[in-house]
Amino acid sequence: MTVPARADIAYPGVAGGRTLRGLRDPVDPHVIVLFGATGDLSRRKLLPGLTYLALSSLTPDIQIVGTSLDELSDEEFRNFAHEAVMKFGTRPLTDEQWDDFAQKLHYVPQSAGPEALGRAVKESEERLGDMFRRLHYLSVPPKAAVAVITMLRDAGLVDRARVVMEKPFGTDLRSAVELNRTVHETFSEDQIFRIDHFLGKEPALNILAFRFANGLFEPIWNRNFIDHVQIDVPEVLGLDNRADFYEATGAYKDMVVTHLFQIMAFVAMEPPTALEPRAISEEKNKVFRSLMTISPSEVVRGQYAGYRQEQGVSADSDTETFIALKAGIDNWRWAGVPFYLRTGKRMAEGMRIISIAFREAPRAMFPQGSGVATEGPDHLTFDLADTAKVSLSFYGKRPGPGMRLEKLSMQFSTEETDRVGDVLEAYERLMLDAMWGDHTLFTTAEGIESLWERSTHVLEDPPPVKTYAPGSWVPNAIHQLIAPRAWRLPFERAWRDPNLYG
């Protein structure tokens, strides 16, 4: 199924002209309607994040209306939120600060219907004055998204509103097209923010800064100097009580389309004409349009031993809990450069790594046994953890007589700077950007449809799953996939401990 690009959904515009990241007016007063307010994501990330944003100078004027299937009063919801913030919040909070935030919290059971929700939102808007906006956060299962959109329409909460949607955005091309069309019946594309928390992390933006602000790296960021790219996101966690969701989704739909391909776009995109949402979205979508169709013969699927015994999992399940694949981008910059993507559950380590492997230099001048080319190519490595580490490995001379080489590295981490306290958690950044109306870190309807179209073959004819032991680096077939190259993880050299260097 081929779907032509639609001009009405391609690149969200910026009302009022160009908006540059980092040069911002204050955020307008907002009423945030939090669907799924008593769910796990809300408890772990959204409520702690909103607490910090509301008590900071970033979003001082907000009101929060929570709604979910649970029958709670305002006070009961505040108690729930207090427990969540105390358990999962990452910043200290005084009793006075909590009392201030608690007054911003309100609750309407979903069973009360759209009229009750509309009244609660309008009461909160009256507390903010005239210059308010609405942010609707859909922290709900994807199958419930359309019902929530309908409820917002019936409650009269579409005007001056933006809506944040959680992945996955469909499960194949047909369902993604249908979902986009249904949502567009109520909200325009510039109102929709499809969230990917990977791109909300500080290191994701650092990729743009690293590439486009430094004359040292952008000239070599192409097929002439780069041999291959790896994007590696192993996880140690299992299903985490999400069997119903995972059985219908699997690692490819859950992680590759909505996370790893999005990271790949930041690595592979051309320089945007300006540091603004529309220009960046356009370059990301060009990458997705240039992505070659994923071939089932270049995909390895795995399932950890014991998965079929998990509660809620079918005894003959074919769902993959691990996937590795080879992707190609058919354009002038990247033709012939393979991108290797890997992610899975119950693996040996939990990491988020991007490795850029450079082509090796001629080595004829170095004598046999010098050590050159024994430890693989030079790598530029981004660690997408909140500490935002970057490492550049290279061969250097070992101290002492003779010419003996070994791999050395230059490393950086935000932990080593005096601005580490300014780092925003991913959901904090993304909620703030949605309130600003900045689509830079969000995907578009065209982008997501392009990715599903290029995934059609592997979804319709997936290779069989191979069993792997929990706590391992998974099926041996991944080595054939990348040969004659090698996977960057597990690392042979540890990251430098910044505490050892003053």
By the 8 A CB rule, do 345 and 315 touch? no
Q: What is the DSSP letter of 309?
A: G
CA distance 188 to 153: 13
Enumerate long-range contacts of 114-120, CB under 8 Å, 24 or more apart: 114/151, 114/152, 114/154, 114/155, 115/155, 117/33, 117/65, 117/67, 117/151, 117/155, 117/157, 118/155, 118/156, 118/157, 120/65
| CB-based burial label for 245 (10 Å; 0-12, 13-18, 19+) | middle
CA distance 94 to 83: 14
CA distance 33 to 323: 35
| The pair of three-digit structure tokens given for residue 295, joined into one six-digit string | 């071939």
Collapsing DSSP to helix, strand or coil, 114 comes out as helix
**Comparing C-alpha atoms, which of 118, 123, 116, 111 is closest to residue 136?**
118
- The catalytic residue among 259, 379, 457, 479 is 259
Please enumerate in sequence order all residues whose Cβ is within 8 A of that of 265, keeping only pairs 6 or more positions apart, or say none.
283, 284, 287, 288, 447
CA distance 198 to 411: 22
φ, ψ of residue 57 in degrees (nearest 5): -85, 0
457 is catalytic: no
Known catalytic residues? 259
